[in-house]
Structure 1
Amino acid sequence: MKKYSNKIFFLLLTCSILVSCNDDFLDIVPKGSQVAGSTEDYDLLLNNPTYYFHSTGGWQAPRWMGDEIAADAHDVYSYDIQAKLLFQWEDEIYPTEDDRAWDLRNGLSRVYTLNKVINQVMGAEEGTEAEKMALQAEAKSNRAFEYFQFINFYAKPYSASTASSDLGFPIITTPDIYENNFTRASVQEVYDFIIEDLMSSIEYLPMERSFNTRFTKPATKGFLAKIYMFMGRFDEALPLLNEAFDDLSSSTNPPSLYDYNVEYAAGGSFLPISPYDGPNGPGNDPYDFQESVLARVCYSGPYSGNGAGNEGLVLSPEAASLYESSDLRLNVYSDTYGDYSLDINPNGVLRKYGILYTRYGLELSELYLLRAECKARLNDLSGAVADVKFLREKRMPVADAEVPASIVSDQVGLIKFILEERIREFATEGYRWFDMRRLSVDSNTELANTVKYTHNLYDYVDGETVVLETFTLRPERLTLRIPQAYIDQNPNMENNP
């Protein structure tokens, strides 16, 4: 981060001054004002931390909605009311007295600026045509990334049979803050918009960047493949995943997986393991991008006024049972309370104390798991086994990393195992919520049935662990309601049920 010039800090300060907290969709800067003048200005603008680090928003909300979590009432059950509303899958998750729609508010702010870049960079001063095209392509890729979050928060999961009629999200391509006549495009139209942004960007993007926070060819190809997988178009996703890996292998400084067998051994970089804060690993370092194909980071620690905190958020017993005892990913979990007392939690639940920062852009580990699932879906079972085994060998002793022999020739069993590996790799970090949505409409009933629809609130009473309350997820709450303030500002917009 120290490499940024003073010029970017001026731009960031300017942007911060211009950002408004009004609930209007695009009430951010005066109409027609420029965010930059020269090509270099636009380049520096895309280095803005708003695109890759979020103290509010990001995947703070999805962390509380996945079916792999539970909550521990004794461990505060969060200081933040929104966390409770999310965990209980309530209809209204944004407290009326305190609008916490950070994901929407901040995302729309970024879309506004990205639209400025897309529409104006080709007329920037200085710079070559190729440099301007690359910046425009990068802004489009960033816009596609924002819309992927919008459509997976505020619209139904993609289903080819209903996507053309399901309500999606407004498609905004011009930076006009005075417009308040937004209507919701269909889910299909939004996915088509995302795909067009990404496909039209690939040829103009560089193969690699100095910073993993910037879009590149392999990052865009990998992300487009993920979009296709969320649409069930696995045959279109796999070639892109292969190309992304090929591009990374030819890069001079590609991301690489940490080998936990090395990093947790004597002298390893993840040591020491603090009894209070967990390992000295990337989960506690927001600027460790070694495994990031595209770095996007959001804060996932205790509540301090900056979004839903993690107090009381624990791994469900069913999810905990997915880990082998030798799995070194267990080192980021603790069986103590989160109050720094180091008291052992008698409920027997694990909290993820070694991940204060969630990476949710495109991690190399996810790229391997996406390709493994894609291969399994297309019946390349040996290829799928090879990809998931490669990741597992970096996370546990090699002798324990084998895929169970009973499923290596069982297509559905192998896909389930890969989906469980996604839980083992990303539990409590929001990934599962997105998987639940796409799996809920999977044409394979066995895979659709892997989605669980209950959350348990645990406590310890009279020497026994008890379930105080169970909350049930209704299918319509796989889609969040848009905050009413935004609906009120746009009279032609319909809210979700």
Structure 2
Amino acid sequence: MKNRILYWVICLLVFTSCSDFLEDYSQDLAYAASTSDLEELLIGNCYIKRTAKKTSLSIAGSEKHTFPWLHVMDDDCVERNSATDAYGGFMPIEGFYHWDKNPFNQNGTPYKDETWSDLYSRIAIANVVIPKVDDMTEDPMEERNRIKGEALFLRASFYYFLVNFYALPYSKTTADTELGVPLKLTEYIEDKYFSRNTVAEVYDAIVEDLQQAIPLLKGVEQTTVYQANEAAARLFLSRVYLYMEKWEDVIAQCDSVLKMATYSLEDLRSFTMGTSFTRSGSPETIFSQGSYSMDLVMREQYYSEWYTAILPCPVVSDDLQDSYDENDLRWQAFMLESYKTPGLYRCIKLRDQDVDGYVSDVFLLRMAEVYLNKAEAQAMSGDETGAKATLNILRENRFVQGQMPAIEEEMIANRDENFIDFIRNERRRELCFEGHRWFDLRRYAVSSTHPFTKEILHPHYSRPSASQYSFEGNFRLKKYNEETAYVLPIPDYAISYNNGSLVQNVIREERKINN
């Protein structure tokens, strides 16, 4: 193919005012002449990159961590209540922990939200690859199908993040009217300002992309977990259907993955504790894109050539800790006790990025989710017996041999009011700090049959010195229907560039400490 496809980049300017993007990538796109060129483009600029091991969180630039703030907004972590240094390892994302009016700030100083522009730039790349791969007629059909399938999968994943960050959760009663995010699904230039499509329209586009990707990726054997395949597309589609409450479709996609018999559950009864649970070589790992930042979000030590300093960090909440049975091996596999303060714990699922094989903590697709998605859909469909059987397949690999409590016993111990509560808590225990909990809390709040919402308290401590700290009070996230902070504000640059066509979300309230 000799046609230049440089013109796609102008579409980026609809969403951002970053003219330098044209300069950075036009050379690569102008001369794409084969599927291998397009694959290189997908791998280099469309898939969300892994981040090299760092000593601090990076929230901007090409080497930034992927949405590290996603881990500190929910009820799974709290600020540690122990003596430590005056400067925190999670300071760049502390505004999210406080649910600030503008969470993109450090010590009250705003910084640019790059998430919106970054995801739309990746969508723009996918938009060009999807139609252009059909022009590569001299390349094998199998290669063209694979590249197109990957691009469709990626575009769906980016819209999934956008609509769940910047719009209200999918509700069967309001999705047709609630504002989602702008949809741009073509590679050509449109001389217009963009407005927000509805939540339903965005979800329908995600579903359509994944439905198209699945047959294109059928039979593809990827040599790396960092490229999508059929199993990844089916599992991700089951997650999207779960959010949409399409229970039969969830079960069908999960069953299709299970029938592949390609992946298996990690058996914690024979697992080497102290090694990485989530890792690229795990039998559970299907797909991963994006960075891992939990070792920095919940970091205790800063290492340098010259000194070691103790840093404050969030720790696992008592609420989450208390939900694990004493014979549940996941607690031992997932958590590390603070070396400084016994009784406080950090969740570190990927313990050595270099040795154990890098995977993300915001977009990781693994087999445990297949069982959890299926069990939830079965229970919501009224098949409690089937749901329990599905869950127990997972649970048998998670408890001390012969010590797995019956589900009914664990429900009583955890004060779960009903089986749906148990399933949701099981999902929390299994998938904690993998990018699920915040989105799950949002969708539970708008469930058409089992709505659930809770108030979340995040304690805050003043730290005048390394040896002093005092409780100042709690930041409070009210219940869903009383709160404005369950969606992020759309960046000002996107609002300005679209000349008022892009409607801002309801302004978040000023957050103050209270008890």
TM-score range, shorter chain: 0.7 to 0.9
Separation of aligned partners in 2, 1:391 and 1:415: 17
Instruction: Please state how far the C-alpha of 1:148 moved relative to its aligned partner.
Output: 0.5
Match of 1:3 in 2: none
Q: Which moved more, 1:377-386 or 1:406-415?
A: 406-415
Partner AA of 1:37 in structure 2: A
Q: In the alignment, does 2:344 pair up with 1:349?
A: yes
CA contact (8 A) 2:153 2:209 kept: yes
Q: In the alignment, does 2:366 pair up with 1:363?
A: yes
Partner AA of 1:381 in structure 2: E
Shift in CA distance, 66/303, structure 1 to aligned 2, threshold 3 Å: same
Residue 494 of structure 1 aligns to a residue whose secondary structure is coil
Residue 470 of structure 1 aligns to a residue whose secondary structure is strand
Match of 1:111 in 2: 123
Shift in CA distance, 24/378, structure 1 to aligned 2, threshold 3 Å: same
Q: In the alignment, does 2:331 pair up with 1:330?
A: yes
Match of 1:84 in 2: 94
Show CA shifts across 1:231-275 (max 9, x none): 1221222122212221x22xxxx23222122123xxxxx5xxxxx
CA contact (8 A) 2:325 2:410 kept: no
Separation of aligned partners in 1, 2:143 and 2:377: 34
Per the normalisation by structure 2, the TM-score is 0.77
Equivalent residues, number: 444
Match of 1:233 in 2: 246
Q: In the alignment, does 2:236 pair up with 1:223?
A: yes
Shift in CA distance, 311/394, structure 1 to aligned 2, threshold 3 Å: farther
Instruction: Please state how far the C-alpha of 1:424 moved relative to its aligned partner.
Output: 1.3
Q: In the alignment, does 2:381 pair up with 1:378?
A: yes
Match of 2:36 in 1: 40
Separation of aligned partners in 2, 1:234 and 1:161: 16
Show CA shifts across 1:409-450 (max 9, x none): 9997222112111221222333110100100111345x514x
Q: In the alignment, does 2:408 pair up with 1:405?
A: yes
Separation of aligned partners in 1, 2:73 and 2:401: 33
Shift in CA distance, 26/495, structure 1 to aligned 2, threshold 3 Å: farther
Partner AA of 2:36 in structure 1: E
Match of 1:262 in 2: 270
CA contact (8 A) 1:260 1:328 kept: yes
Residue 263 of structure 1 aligns to a residue whose secondary structure is coil
Separation of aligned partners in 2, 1:26 and 1:448: 44
Separation of aligned partners in 2, 1:153 and 1:75: 32
Separation of aligned partners in 2, 1:57 and 1:182: 28
Q: Which moved more, 1:320-329 or 1:144-153?
A: 320-329
Match of 2:4 in 1: none
Aligned ranges for residues 4-83 of structure 1 at < 5 Å?
23-24=16-17, 28-29=21-22, 33-34=29-30, 36-48=32-44, 51-55=47-51, 56-72=64-80, 74-75=83-84, 78-83=88-93
CA contact (8 A) 2:328 2:399 kept: yes
Match of 2:446 among 434, 441, 456: 441
Partner AA of 1:433 in structure 2: W
Match of 1:6 in 2: none
For structure 2, the residue ranges without an aligned partner over 5 or more in a row are 1-11, 52-63, 303-310, 352-359, 507-515
Match of 2:357 in 1: none
Q: CA RMSD in A?
A: 3.4
Per the normalisation by structure 1, the TM-score is 0.79
Match of 1:158 in 2: 170
Shift in CA distance, 420/39, structure 1 to aligned 2, threshold 3 Å: same
CA contact (8 A) 1:184 1:493 kept: yes
CA contact (8 A) 1:26 1:177 kept: no
CA contact (8 A) 2:99 2:477 kept: yes
Partner AA of 1:319 in structure 2: L
Instruction: Please state how far the C-alpha of 1:470 moved relative to its aligned partner.
Output: 1.2
Match of 2:318 in 1: 317
Match of 2:285 in 1: 292
Instruction: Please state how far the C-alpha of 1:134 moved relative to its aligned partner.
Output: 3.0
Match of 2:390 in 1: 387
Residue 469 of structure 1 aligns to a residue whose secondary structure is strand
Separation of aligned partners in 1, 2:180 and 2:277: 35
Separation of aligned partners in 2, 1:411 and 1:232: 22
Partner AA of 1:469 in structure 2: G
CA contact (8 A) 2:153 2:228 kept: yes
Separation of aligned partners in 2, 1:221 and 1:430: 18
Instruction: Please state how far the C-alpha of 1:27 moved relative to its aligned partner.
Output: 6.2
**Identical-residue share of aligned pairs (%):** 26
Match of 1:472 in 2: 476
Instruction: Please state how far the C-alpha of 1:481 moved relative to its aligned partner.
Output: 0.7
Show CA shifts across 1:363-398 (max 9, x none): 111111111111111122222112222222222213
CA contact (8 A) 1:407 1:413 kept: no
Separation of aligned partners in 2, 1:179 and 1:291: 46
Aligned ranges for residues 79-158 of structure 1 at < 5 Å?
79-95=89-105, 99-124=111-136, 126-158=138-170
Shift in CA distance, 467/50, structure 1 to aligned 2, threshold 3 Å: farther
Match of 1:174 in 2: 186
For structure 1, the residue ranges without an aligned partner over 5 or more in a row are 1-18, 265-269, 271-278, 337-341
Match of 1:242 among 255, 267, 287: 255
Separation of aligned partners in 1, 2:31 and 2:277: 33
Separation of aligned partners in 2, 1:181 and 1:27: 20
Instruction: Please state how far the C-alpha of 1:458 moved relative to its aligned partner.
Output: 5.8
